Structure 1
């Protein structure tokens, strides 16, 4: 019969070595090229790891739509995603995410997303992912860089939600850093850096920050037609944020109590910025 260990022997037992938890990485790249009769066709596609790109059938009059997926089901510390999109000359490319991206608790580090966009001469690229949802303790560092030709059009929108109101969730602690750098013909035309960390719920409650709102979105349109849209955009936003015009750049900010309230403003806003064209179908699923 084997004797049970004594209390002293228990005290001398060494803990098992902790192994590093598995993390997800993904890289997805897509390029569009002009086809016959003015339509846009797929030029190249690469996907690796948890990054997937799908090309659903659409009725977008020759435009190319791509849907981005993160098969890991969310992100936490140590996860890495990289997306690259290249709209070739005389093409129209729209990218959206299949669903909202989720930022789960990150005990020791930060999830990272790197977005790189290129828009050639007489091309249009619309970057329209659905919401990023941050859970309590989530952490994200995101960078977006874009290079535009002189007569190219770019629309970027990034919505974020701090906890799901319908589930009674709050984000007491978290970390978010968002850096955008947009260049046209090599000249920097837009730069912004957003940082929110520490006591997220407490900071969002401040009147100078968000007055208790838990959902926000930034949409920026770079195009010569921006000025003609300013009045209509301000009508849509109507007290939920603001819109400013800087030469050929229209910057829109939105705040809302929750994700549903944000969408009620954001969807008509994006349709207007897209010249009346509807959003990809995944936005309505």
Structure 2
């Protein structure tokens, strides 16, 4: 009698793509195209005013090793789009490989895009690589906000080891004006406790405003920041750029500092109601 070894279990993995684009027509921003595949869903609340709000949803309930998620958001010439998420994205412990999230953002002439997803929460032994590719027309504007929380203190969670890589590339008129790579790999808790690391913080956010008037916002932005935070502004490639970094002891404290800054930098577009719910 011949024995047969059973194959190892095959786990279902997310392969999802969501695309949304908007145009400015007849005095307001209107939906142009919408595409959803897999666990990627997009909802468009009917709200008064010019901006089009896109709420991005991962119906998979989170990410883990082997998952692939891609978002594509485009604001056409003169259009105003606010893109956010229905909830914080959770990155769970990986049983093998890493989760990968790719975000492609594009803004046409005179357009504005606010990319303000809710926080990414990483769990112990999680692995995530995230890539943001942002292309702006020379006179376009964008507000880009990404934040990460290493464990929820209210739930007694602690992230001892994890891998998190964040890769940003932003171009204006085809010219690279902002690039950054953030990498945590291994003993995350030790790194965050070091003074030159997180200085005890487990929550962080990067806020980037690109376009006309960005540099003039610096004094007001600095007035809102805490002692561990910092901001700077300068002109590059003919565009103004304001960059802020925030650190906090937990997710609640991070949001308390982040929301007033986002309200300031997002101007008349305001914040999605989902951020205050």
Structure 2 CA distance, aligned partners of 1:14 and 1:42?
Answer: 55
Tell me the SS of whatever aligns to 1:52: strand
Q: Secondary structure at the match of 1:274?
A: helix
The residue number in structure 1 matching 2:252 is: 260
Cα deviation code 1:33-56 (max 9, x no counterpart) = 1121x2100011000000000001
RMSD: 1.3
Contact 2:51–2:269 (Cα < 8 Å) also in 1: no
Deviations 1:258-279 (A, max 9, x none): 0000011100000001125421
Q: Output the CA distance in 2 between the equivalents of 1:148 and 1:62.
A: 20
Aligned to 1:21: 11
Equivalent residue, structure 1, for 2:169: 181
1:191 to 164, 179, 183: 179
**Radius of gyration: which is bigger?**
1
Partner of 2:133: 145
Tell me which residue corresponds to 2:38: 49
Which of the numbers 115, 119, 125 marks the counterpart of 1:131? 119
Give distance in 2, aligned partners of 1:278 and 1:256: 23
Q: TM-score scaled to structure 2, two decimals?
A: 0.96
Structure 2 distance, partners of 1:241, 1:276, is 25
Distance 2:122 2:72 in 1: 23
The one-character-per-residue Cα deviations of 1:133-179 (angstroms, maximum 9, x if unpaired) are: 00111110010001110000011000110000101100011000110
Structure 2 residue corresponding to 1:278, chosen from 235, 250, 270? 270
Cα drift, residue 14 of structure 1? 5.4
User: Are the equivalent residues in 1 in contact too, given 2:93–2:126 (CA < 8 A)?
Assistant: yes
Counterparts of 2:47 and 2:87, CA distance in 1: 18
Cα distance between partner residues in 2 of 1:43 and 1:193: 33
8 Å CA contact 2:226, 2:257 repeated in 1? no
- Distance (Å, rounded) in 1 between the aligned partners of 2:100 and 2:150: 18
Quote the Cα distance in structure 2 between the aligned partners of 1:271 and 1:108.
Answer: 39
Distance in 2 of aligned mates of 1:106 and 1:246:
40
Please give the alpha-carbon distance, in whole angstroms, between the structure 2 residues aligned to 1:179 and 1:190.
11
Aligned residue pairs total: 273
Q: Deviations over 1:181-229 (max 9, x none)?
A: 0011111000000000101111110000001101000010001211221
1:211-248 per-residue CA deviation (whole Å, 9 max, x = no partner) reads 11010000100012112210110010131310011210
1:20 Cα deviation after fit? 2.1
Say if 1:88 and 1:276 are closer, same or farther in 2 by CA, change over 3 A: closer
Q: Which residue of 2 aligns with 1:229?
A: 217
Q: Is the Cα contact below 8 Å between 2:16 and 2:37 reproduced in 1?
A: yes
What's the TM-score, normalizing by structure 1?
0.93
Q: Give 1:92-171 correspondences, 5 Å limit.
A: 92-171=80-159
Any unmatched runs of 5+ in structure 2? none
